[in-house]
Every structure is written in C-alpha cells, then in structure tokens.
Amino acid sequence: MDGIAQNIFGDTRSGSLAGPLGLLIIVLLAIGTVLLIRNMNKRIKRLPERFPSQDEPDSPQSPGN
C-alpha cells in the first residue's frame, strides 16, 4: 500500500510557489489585456466617420485591362 503514495516523478518544488506564481501570471495577463483594449480604442477613435463608397472607383479604368 505504500507504493501507491510514492512520488515517482522526481523532486517537486519545495514550499508554496504555485500560488504566487499563478497570481503573477494572471496579473500580467490582465495588465496586457487592459493595455491592448486601450490601444484598440485609440485606433478606433482615429478612424474616419464614413469611408468612401465602394460603387465609385478612385481612378477610371479601361475595360481592356
């Protein structure tokens, strides 16, 4: 019965590092998400109100091309 509870995967980390490390990763992901959203909002505000119509070509084209 002792064989079931043995650690066969080698040394594990001593202490409780998984909690603080996980928190750090989540905080970094949250900061990155906030920065990306702010940048996206700035870029969207710079877009023009309306875009030119697709019906009117910018330059005349000959039908042979």
- Give per-residue pLDDT as tens, 6-65: 776 766 666 667 788 899 999 999 999 999 999 999 999 999 888 888 876 656 565 655
Position 59 scores a pLDDT of: 62
Position 11 scores a pLDDT of: 67
- Residue-level length of the chain: 65
Pairwise pLDDT comparison (2 vs 10), residue with the higher score: 10
